């Protein structure tokens, strides 16, 4: 009898152990002993029974909220339908100030926008351990060129979704004003100058201009520089030239000349960003120099809109080359859900999300399978050469103690705009700060 009691007691413990082990296995695999792991579920978009959705916080570009809001509502809806176990909290909260505060407080969202190799910032973020390397998360890069992948990498490691659209500065023009006065699109730089003179003679402001807006007042400089000095910029990047080359000085001079001759209007120094755009959409000026990223806003204004790239003296249209950062997002190194955050990066890197953005905004795609819907995209894509971006060139000449690109924006351009310095002085200020390779 004593032996039988011992055997029965042992059987009870064995059965209890089996139940506990089954329970542990159920908890680990979401109630299925042979179900997918958390990592596999994230990749396949499967939910896990009894487990809360992973909450991923994403910051959108606050300065471009009006342009991007509709697109990201659709993109995020498509993402959550594909990955129902991932909950997105998307907020247009990212600005330079908010990002700086979040970095200092160590309170970054899971995903936020970066600008790749357009500026030194992503590399700095990597250096201080802010970004999660994405190589192990199987982001699909099969559709991308070397240049696009290079944008998204630091020291050979992937840190953000690669770009899929091309940004540049173009001239938007009012076709009704051109048609009313029998004006034609310029085929050369001299014809562009003549066009501005003709408009002035007719009492029409040729080019709307926002003297108060730091970035927007720089667009003519960024458009003139590659058109007239692309070879000089190339020489700098090749380590064979500097910022005192005559072509660079001449491009700065054209910018100052436009202000002095009245091509930007009489009171441009006091015009802010909103007033600048309204002056164009309300027919107060004939043209405006702005980015391709704002194409949708101008298209929806009801204006009879046209677009062209500025030609140089030989009639060659060399435009500033820059990848769009509208969809280039990185993951915080401190995210609690790295696999789920990486799935969002992968989704932004795919055709479905990119086609949504194209359909809503009308950008120039750099990948062949993205199909433009807006006829205006064809006008924006009519250029001969994708040239150097002045800001990127100056960033490459900067150091931690000498930010040449910031000097351009905050001092050189406003002083040129008001004729407080000459074109040669502008180039010299930047040249003396630059660190050449």
Q: Which residues of the chain have pLDDT under 50?
A: 1-38, 41, 46-49
Q: What is the pLDDT of residue 375?
A: 84
Domain with CATH 3.40.190.10 in the chain: 53-166+325-365, 169-320+397-433
Q: What is the pLDDT of residue 199?
A: 98
Task: Tell me which residue of 38, 74, 34 sits closest to 53, measured CA to CA.
Answer: 38
pTM, to two decimals? 0.79
- What is the DSSP track for 301-326? TT--EEEEPPP-TTS--EEE-EE--T
Task: Tell me which residue of 300, 359, 305, 375 sits closest to 66, measured CA to CA.
Answer: 300
Task: Tell me which residue of 222, 232, 230, 288 sits closest to 255, measured CA to CA.
Answer: 222
- What is the DSSP track for 258-279? HHHTTTT-SSGGG--HHHHHHH
User: Which fold would CATH assign to domain 169-320+397-433?
Assistant: D-Maltodextrin-Binding Protein; domain 2 (3.40.190)
Query: In Å, how far from its chain's centre is CA 292?
Result: 11
User: Which fold would CATH assign to domain 53-166+325-365?
Assistant: D-Maltodextrin-Binding Protein; domain 2 (3.40.190)
d(CA 106, CA 100): 10
| Partners of 320 in beta bridges | 387
Ramachandran angles phi, psi of 172, nearest 5°:
-90, 140
Tokens of 351: 């055709």
Q: What is the pLDDT of residue 347?
A: 98
């Amino acid at each position: 009898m004593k032996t039988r009691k011992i055997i029965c007691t042992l059987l009870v413990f064995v059965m209890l152990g089996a139940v506990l082990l089954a329970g542990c296995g159920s908890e680990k695999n979401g109630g299925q002993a042979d179900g997918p792991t958390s990592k596999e579920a994230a990749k396949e978009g499967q939910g896990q029974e009894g487990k809360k959705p992973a909450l991923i916080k994403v910051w959108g570009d606050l300065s471009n909220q009006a342009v991007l809001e509709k697109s990201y509502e659709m993109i995020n809806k498509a993402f959550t339908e594909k990955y129902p176990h991932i909950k997105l909290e998307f907020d247009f909260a990212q600005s330079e100030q908010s990002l700086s505060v979040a970095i200092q407080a160590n309170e970054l969202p899971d995903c936020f926008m970066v600008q790749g190799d357009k500026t030194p910032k992503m590399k700095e973020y990597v250096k201080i351990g802010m970004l999660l390397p994405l190589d192990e998360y199987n982001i699909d890069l099969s559709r991308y060129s070397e240049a696009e992948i290079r944008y998204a990498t630091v020291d050979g490691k992937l840190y953000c979704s690669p770009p899929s659209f091309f940004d540049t500065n173009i001239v938007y023009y009012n076709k009704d004003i051109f048609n009313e006065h029998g004006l034609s699109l310029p085929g050369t730089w001299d014809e562009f100058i003549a066009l501005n003179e003709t408009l002035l003679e007719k009492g029409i402001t040729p080019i709307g201009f926002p003297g108060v807006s730091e970035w927007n007042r720089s667009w003519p400089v960024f458009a003139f520089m590659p058109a007239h000095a692309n070879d000089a910029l190339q020489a700098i990047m090749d380590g064979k030239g500097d910022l005192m080359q005559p072509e660079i000085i001449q491009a700065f001079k054209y910018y100052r000349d436009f202000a002095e001759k009245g091509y930007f209007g009489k009171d441009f120094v006091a015009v802010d960003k909103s007033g600048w755009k309204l002056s164009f959409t309300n027919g107060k000026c004939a043209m405006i120099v702005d980015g391709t990223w704002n194409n949708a806003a101008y298209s929806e204004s009801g204006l009879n809109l046209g677009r062209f790239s500025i030609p140089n003296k030989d009639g060659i249209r060399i435009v500033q080359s820059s990848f769009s950062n509208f969809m280039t997002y990185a993951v915080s190194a401190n995210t609690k859900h790295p696999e789920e955050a990486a799935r969002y990066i992968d989704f932004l890197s795919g055709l479905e999300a990119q086609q949504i953005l194209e359909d809503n905004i009308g950008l120039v795609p750099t990948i062949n399978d993205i199909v433009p819907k807006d006829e205006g995209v064809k006008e924006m894509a009519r250029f001969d050469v994708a040239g150097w971006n002045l800001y990127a060139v100056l960033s490459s000449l900067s150091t931690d103690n000498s930010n040449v690109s910031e000097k351009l924006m905050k001092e050189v351009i406003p002083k040129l705009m008001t004729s407080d310095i000459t074109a040669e002085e502008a180039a010299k200020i930047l040249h003396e700060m630059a660190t050449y390779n």
